[in-house]
Amino acid sequence: MAALLAERWEVVAPLGDGAMGSVARGRDTVSGRAVAIKRLLDVRHAARFEIEARLLMRLQHPRVVRVLDAFSAGPERYLVMALVEGEDLRARLVARGGGGLPADEAVAWIVEVCEALEYVHDAHVIHRDVKPSNVVVGPAGAVLVDFGVARDLGDAGLATQAIGTPLYMAPELAAGGAPSPRSDVYGAAATLHALLTGRPPQYGAVGEALPDVPGPVTDALHAGLALDPARRPPSAAAFARLLGAAPAAERGRSLAASVGAPQRPRAVLEAVARAAAGIFDAAAASIALERPGGGLRFEAAWGAGADEIVGVELEPGTGIAGSVAVVGRPLAIADCRADPRFQAAVAAGTGYVPHTLLAVPLRAGERVIGVLELLDRRSGEPYRDADAHGAEHLATIAAVALGEAERETPTVGF
């Protein structure tokens, strides 16, 4: 009898094992569709697993594998992903007997990989292991699979353990440095090198001659393989442009959300929430503004639980956000679930109950016009009082942006 996990996911057959987990082919007993079930071998950081997995479940893009579920079964933790039918690029290279692909075909696949990377980087997610076996080519083109939480859970976000595959991994990651979008650009360039030559590049391979590869493609490849990340293209989109083709305009689902009739322009609200989450490495961020008659209404949010929190209203002084609005001072809550001000029912209604929270007032002069909240640091570490100082500076800039957006553009007369 096949194993059934979380009363829904049926384990059908093993697919493979890796350093951080094992993968099995599975079936969704509700829909009948095929899935991939990854069991994590390193389970030391439950909070980080929960935080990162919830964010990955928000990603929806045709070039990015869907994360469908994340759950625990006893001491073990699992990710359930859509099973992408097709052939990965490593298998395609093996089928050619070790030779490379034609340059135009190789570039076309990498441009599609760049579409995926541009989307996930916009969501503050770094893949860290871009390589041929993590790009599956199916009927709809290339799909990027196997995201970070399934590999680096034991690392807890610290730059002390190299995560990735040698020769495809950016040199700064191999040295224990911090990941960035440029790290994934290196992975995309290394993957392109393998597609063109049948083998990954050696570090420092810049300047290598590549027969039968157009000069502009060679130049782009060398730029992407630069040892110094500052000398690489700054984004996946920039790398694709160097290859001669910009990524498609399809952006996938935005991780930002706002109410139907916000008090400030939607683009400004969502940009502030997104930027705040990126600066503080948060899994979610929200903006609550004062409402007529008192209290707060969540006008915009980014990340996990964003769609559900927008529009929620709090009575004056209610909840952590309401307390911050009344006292006018920031609050860093290391364990918000244990804080008596925490509105557990509201959080449960959004499907996102955070572990830790940082809330800062938004001011227009001496008046508090709202509250910016940051939920869960993606490393799993709690927010501390020391974080509040930097958050106040961010809130000052955010309040100015929101205040300027509220003003009407003056009419110029002659």
Give the CATH number for residue 351. 3.30.450.40
CA distance 90 to 200: 11
Q: Which residue has the tokens 């070039």?
A: 63
Q: Which domain holds residue 388?
A: 256-406
Work out the pLDDT band at 368, boundaries 50, 70, 90: very high
CA distance 168 to 174: 10
Whether residues 261 and 380 share a domain: the answer is yes
Per residue in 198-232, pLDDT (tens digit) is 999 998 877 778 888 999 999 999 999 999 999 99
Which ranges constitute the DSSP H helices of 198-318?
215-224, 236-242, 266-279, 306-309
Whether residues 227 and 358 share a domain: the answer is no
Whether residues 277 and 402 share a domain: the answer is yes
Do 70 and 2 meet the contact criterion of CB atoms below 8 Å apart? Answer: no
**3-state SS class at 150:** helix
Whether residues 74 and 113 share a domain: the answer is no
Whether residues 116 and 227 share a domain: the answer is yes
In a domain, 202, yes or no: yes
Work out the pLDDT band at 253, boundaries 50, 70, 90: very high
In a domain, 360, yes or no: yes
CA distance 369 to 218: 53
Whether residues 234 and 288 share a domain: the answer is no
* Helix, strand counts (H, E) of the chain: 12, 16
Output the six-digit token pair for 91: 């298998």
Final residue in a domain of this structure, among 29, 61, 82: 82
Please report the pLDDT score of residue 410 as a whole number.
43
Whether residues 368 and 348 share a domain: the answer is yes
Number of domain units in the chain: 3
- CATH, residue 117: 1.10.510.10
Whether residues 288 and 237 share a domain: the answer is no
The answer to whether residue 397 scores a pLDDT higher than 80 is yes
Output the six-digit token pair for 342: 């925490």
- CATH, residue 52: 3.30.200.20
Whether residues 25 and 76 share a domain: the answer is yes
Span 120-130, average pLDDT? 92
In a domain, 330, yes or no: yes
Whether residues 278 and 335 share a domain: the answer is yes
Query: Which residues touch 344 (CB under 8 Å, ≥6 apart)?
Result: 337, 353
CA distance 40 to 79: 8
Q: Which residue has the tokens 């080519």?
A: 137
Whether residues 138 and 234 share a domain: the answer is yes
> What is the phi-psi region of residue 47: left when phi exceeds 0, alpha when psi lies from -120 to 50, beta otherwise?
alpha
In a domain, 40, yes or no: yes
Q: Is 129 a catalytic residue?
A: yes
Please report the pLDDT score of residue 21 as a whole number.
67
Q: Which of 129, 146, 184, 376 is catalytic?
A: 129
In a domain, 234, yes or no: yes
Could you tell me the end-to-end alpha-carbon distance of the chain, in angstroms, rounded to an integer? 83
User: What is the pTM (predicted TM-score) of this model?
Assistant: 0.88
Final residue in a domain of this structure, among 242, 271, 304: 242
CB atoms within 10 A of CB 397: 12
